[in-house]
Structure 1
């Protein structure tokens, strides 16, 4: 089951997709917002292309956890998305996802112009990867470096 992760903004929508096993998130594209109808058409095309079965949308909470106008707009968009495309939408806390994406892009030494091109889809990737990681069951067989004995 593939999931599309979205970083919903006023001018763009960053998009990421999970692999078929739901383990990793990869960047896909950035949709330049022009109208709600065009946004939904572009997302509908991505749903078909990637055979997605759900959306995970970043909810921009304030640092104290409260919701402001951007969170309200995101909730409204999520409702419209569900009605228009018929897929479930999960909202997840996206605090610091853009900061983490910016840090990653700076460490990769990308130019300012290139960072501007991909920042939204990188934020979507961070949002989706966080959601995927949170859903993964903890395994009792995980490897721990402290448990490693090279003699055995």
Structure 2
């Protein structure tokens, strides 16, 4: 079983993986997609092949502890945020595992500042997903 971190983009979706029993998040792959539907289909394939029990999706705002405050303010958010939330809602309606949100602000900037070899091998989107997932793991103490 594993946890996947997701850095959503309209064309590229960064994916990272972690074992829920311990260990750090690691970059897994970057999905190149034409649209949200394809992104969700490809994520479903990964969920099945990797034995995923939880998805953590990065969102570009600060979250309340439960994330509920963020969802209530949906109409006042920028276009990027609305697109990410639309993706999350479609994902929640499609997959059978829990989907949690994690603040992704600065994840790509942090990823770009990390060891150049890590970014070169895995791509900045997968490394950004790793930063998002590790932030979630650290916050939850998993």
| TM-score where L is the length of structure 2 | 0.81
Distance 1:109 1:50 in 2: 22
Q: Does 1:15 align with 2:15?
A: yes
Deviations 1:30-79 (A, max 9, x none): 000113332122101110111111110110128xx984211111111111
Q: Does 1:50 align with 2:50?
A: yes
Distance 2:36 2:81 in 1: 17
Change (3 A) 1:67 1:74: same
Shift of 1:20: 4.2
Change (3 A) 1:4 1:109: closer
Aligned residues: 130
Shift of 1:109: 8.7
Q: Which has the larger radius of gyration?
A: 1
Look up the SS of the partner of 1:17 in the other structure. strand
Matches within 5 A, 1:32-111: 32-61=32-61, 67-106=77-116, 108=117
Deviations 1:82-111 (A, max 9, x none): 1111222111111111111000044x497x
Look up the SS of the partner of 2:123 in the other structure. helix
